[in-house]
Amino acid sequence: MPPGTTLLHAAGGLGLFLLGMALMTEGLRSLAGQRLRQGLLRFTRSAWSGAISGALTTAIVQSSSATTVMSVGFVSAGLLSFQAALGIILGANVGSTGLGWLVALLGIRLDLERIMLPLVLVGACLRLLGRGRQAQAGLALAGFALLFIGIGGLQQAMAGHGLLLDPARFDAALPSGRLKLLLLGLLTTVTALIAAMGAGLGARRTAVAHVTFNLFTAVLAFTLLPVYLWALRLGAETGLSPEPEFALTAFHTGFNVTGVLLILPFATPFAGLIRRVVPPSPDRPVEELADTPPKEAMVAVDQASTALRQTLVALLSSLDEALDHPATAPADLAQGTGLRPVDLDHIELFVDQIDLPSAHDPARSRLLHLLHGLDHLQRLHERCTEERQRRQAVATASALRPERDRLLQCLDGLIPLLQRGAWPEALPLAEACARDLHHRVDPFRQAVMEQVAAGSLAVEEGTALLEAMRWLRRVSQHLQRICRHLVEVMEPVTTRS
C-alpha cells in the first residue's frame, strides 16, 4: 500500500475512533440515569471488583484498548469516577491476555471489526426511528461500534505499512533492541490519551493512569525478560521448551498479572499520584471535588454544596457579562463559563455516592435539598448555554431593556453574596426578582400582541420577544429555587430560629 494511502487509512481510522468516542459519550450522558449509574458503581465498588470487571470485559470484547476507551467514556459521561475506573483499566491488561491464550490454544481470533459493522446500522436505526432512551441508546451503540472499527482501521494502517518500523528489523537479543521494541509497543497506549482529549479532569486522569500503569508493566517486563529467556534456554536443554506462541503468551500473562497484583494493594496511593500529576485547573472549581465522597455524610454534603455554589457563581458571572456586554461576550456561553455538562454530572455522581447510614440520618434532608438545587442548576445551565437565540434577544432587544436590567440588578447583588456563601441574604433578592419578572409577563405579552395586531410589529419578531420574556422568567425562577434549596442545605429549617 503506498505511503499516502496508508496515511489516509490511518487518518480515517482515527476519525472514526474520535467520532465513535464522541457519540458514545453523548449517548451515555443522555442515558445516565440512577439505575445505570448505580449498576456501574456496584461493579466498581473497590479497585479489586473494578479489576475483575475490566478483565472480564476485555476478555469478552478482546480489546484492552476498547475497554480502556469505554472507561474514559464512562468517566467523561459522569457515570464513573476516576477512582472507580482505575480498577477497570488495571484489569483490562489482565483480560487482554485471554485473547493470546485463545489464539495460542485454538488459533481462533474473532474479527470484531466485522461484527461491529452491523451494530452501526442497528444503532443508527434506533437513533433515527426510536424515541427517548431508545434513540440515545442507539447513539451510544453506534458510537461503541465505531470505536472498534476505528481502532481496527488504525491497526491495519499501522501494521507493516511504514507508519511503524517492522519489529523484525530490531535485534531482540540485545538490550537496546528490546528497549526499542518496548517503546514501539507502548505506542499502543495512546488511544486512551486521544480519547481523553478535550474531556474532563476525571477522563484525563484515567487516560494518564492507563499510560502510567503500562509504563510500569513495561519496565517490569523489560526487567524480567532476561530471566525468562534464561529459563527458556534451560528448558530447551532439558527438552521442556514450549512452543513459541505458548512461551510468548505465558510471558505476556505473567508480567501483566504481576503488575496488577503489585499495584492493586496500593490503588489509593497510585490514584493519589495520578491526581498530583494531573491537577485540577485553577479556573474550574468543580474539579476540586474528590472522585468519591468522604464517609461522613455531613462533610460530603458540605463539599458538594460548595462545588455547586462555585459552579453557580461562575455561570452567573458569565451570564451577567453576556447580557450586559453582548458585543464582546462569547457566542457560546459555555466557553465563557468554563463549565461543561460533565462538571454538573461530576457533582451528581459525587452526590449519588454519599452513603446515608439510616433513614433518620440528619444529613438526609440536606441531601434532598441539595439534589433539588443541583437539578435546577442543571436546567439553568441548559437555558443559559443552549437557548442562545433567546438569550441574545434578551441582551439586544430594546423592548426588553427594563426586564433585562431587572435581572442584571439581581445578578449584581447575588454574585458577591454567593461568593461568600451568604445564601440567607441571597434568597430574598432572587425571590424578589423572580416575582417581579413573573408579574411583568402578562402586561408585556398584551403589549406585544397589540403591536402585532396593529401591524407595527411582525409576527415573527413578536414571537421572538415573547419567547425571550419567558426565558427571563424561567431563568429567574431557577435561580430563586436554587437559592431556596441551598438555604435549607446550609441552614436547615429545623435549626433556624
Q: Which of 277, 294, 319 is the last residue of a domain?
A: 277
Q: Which of 255, 277, 299 is the last residue of a domain?
A: 277
In a domain, 495, yes or no: no
Question: Please, which residues have CB within 8 angstroms of residue 383's CB and are 6 or more apart in sequence?
Answer: 390, 391, 471, 474, 475, 478
Q: DSSP labels for 261-291?
A: HHHGGGHHHHHHHHHHHSPPPTT-GGGGS-S
Q: Which of 277, 299, 320 is the last residue of a domain?
A: 277
d(CA 185, CA 169): 14
d(CA 89, CA 197): 18
CATH of the domain at 456: 1.20.58.220
Q: Tell me, what's the pLDDT at 465?
A: 94
Sort residue 270 into left (φ over 0), alpha (ψ -120 to 50) or beta.
alpha
Q: Tell me, what's the pLDDT at 38?
A: 66
- State whether 354 and 379 are in the same domain: yes
- State whether 32 and 50 are in the same domain: yes
- Helix crossing, 3-31 with 133-158: angle to 10°? 160
d(CA 360, CA 170): 67
Which pLDDT band, with edges at 50, 70 and 90, does 162 fall under? very low
Please count the other Cβ atoms lying within 10 Å of the Cβ belonging to residue 196.
Answer: 25
Is the pTM higher than 0.75? The answer reads: no
In a domain, 497, yes or no: no
DSSP state, residue 243? P
Q: What average pLDDT does the structure give for the chain?
A: 78
* Number of folded domains that form the chain: 2
Sort residue 417 into left (φ over 0), alpha (ψ -120 to 50) or beta.
alpha
d(CA 43, CA 55): 12
d(CA 468, CA 249): 65
Which pLDDT band, with edges at 50, 70 and 90, does 253 fall under? confident
| Burial letters 156-178, b for 16+ CB under 10 A, else e | bbbeebeeeeeeeebeeeeeeeb
Q: Tell me, what's the pLDDT at 413?
A: 94
- Grouping H, G, I as helix, E, B as strand and the rest as coil, residue 161 is coil
> pLDDT (tens digit, 9 = 90+) per residue, 29-42?
666 555 666 666 67
- Grouping H, G, I as helix, E, B as strand and the rest as coil, residue 326 is coil
Grid cell 472507580 — which residue? 84
Q: Tell me, what's the pLDDT at 176?
A: 66
In a domain, 270, yes or no: yes
- Percentage of residues in the chain having pLDDT higher than 90: 19
> pLDDT (tens digit, 9 = 90+) per residue, 396-415?
999 999 999 999 999 999 99
